[in-house]
Structure 1
Amino acid sequence: MFLKKVTLLRDSISSFREYPLSIPSIHSMDQIELKKSVTFFVGENGSGKSTLLEGIAEVCGFNTASGGKDHTYDVHASTSDLAEHLRLSWLPKVSNGFFLRAESFYHFATYLEEVDTTGFRKYGGESLHRQSHGEAFLSLFLHSFKEQSIFLLDEPEAALSPSRQLTLLRILHDLTKDRQAQFIIVTHSPILLGFPDADIISFDEGQITSIDYENTDHYQITKYFLNHREKFLNDIFKEDDE
């Protein structure tokens, strides 16, 4: 465990009317305490979870298109207007880590094509562009993620099949079992959210609050759908027919 607190410096903000400070969950934020090696951010689309993760990544000095401190390439609109109003509290401070943005990971893979001189040793020995999207993600997780680091992952399940999500759970376990790595993960995956002894922080209802796994929409909707699939679908389609 390295990053202990994320604080919104409210006194530095002249107005909450502009995006992203106008997002209700960000507007109401004071401080988030991080107590576990794995913390999940959950919430509806637009609730502010990815916005905050990106702000944390920028304060860490990571490339907010995807990458760590040493990955220098430019992608349009990959900076966070929130970062200047955040303070990160560390114990101890670490500089190693990686920010994964699923939607712009292609740009990271292209950047590696231009600069890597090691034969992609840190990525399984093969160009990420020569692997499927999901394989490239797992190559990064398996070969590049090390201890004494913090990893910020924005919807890593986007490219992973259910079985590969289970592989990611094992990677999380192996890297955090001695509390030598820390993960903050934005996800919609009920599989990833099932990681044991993780904190889940919800950004819904305009608030940032802790929530139990069984109380998340991800768990409840998925469980109900699997147990009552025909009724669930009939109810949805009936609304359209009406």
Structure 2
Amino acid sequence: MSARFAGRVVLVAGAGTGVCRATAVAFAREGATVMVAGPDPDELAGTVKLIRDAGGAADSVTADLTRGGSDAAVRMVAETVERYGALDIAFNNATVTGPNRHVADIQEADWAQTLAGNLTGVWMAMKHELAHMEARGAGVIVNTSCDMAATGRLVGMGAYAASKAALSALTRTAAHEYIAKGIRINAISPGPAHGAKPGETGGATAEEVAETVVWLCSDEASFVVGHDMVLDKKTVV
């Protein structure tokens, strides 16, 4: 294992599989102590086992940012700090796909749930992550948006696109507010099919997304602030 992130505590929030799992494993491989948070304890346990079996340090906390509200955000940050004494890096990857309907056909409950997961849940996570990082005078946060939020090509996914576009704006605003306090904040916008093989649709694999997140959180990216990095071979604009 590398010592690139030795001594640093990383919170990976959203789920116990996919991009979250790949990112948690990637951070652990680089020497970080990793806390994984999500709604499914069995999935989280699987990620923790992968890391520990490889000689890394990891633990989990069950927290559903979509349905758990502020309590879930408070719990995952508080348990991370309580167990490890710090929170240096946070990757907020909570994603709710939402309804596949044209804008006029979206039900209010579906709209609310999509924004609760993709925007409000991440905002609540940031709120409590930032409070701890500000007290320490340092930290890094990466949020997951979506390249389709910028292009509008995601026909039938208006609630999802709106929530992710709002998250991009929130990320940039927070980046300007907190960089003077020693906290770097960025976002990533993966293209579709990041579970597919490289090159199939232009989307990155979960492992490729993970490597980008790790780089954004590293000292090598210390000059990168307030960006929404598109991970797609296609043109965005």
TM-score of the pair, normalised by structure 1: 0.36
Whose helix proportion is higher, 1 or 2? 2
Higher relative contact order (CA 8 A, sep 6+): 1
Task: State the TM-score, normalizing by the size of structure 2.
Answer: 0.36
Structure with greater Cα Rg: 1
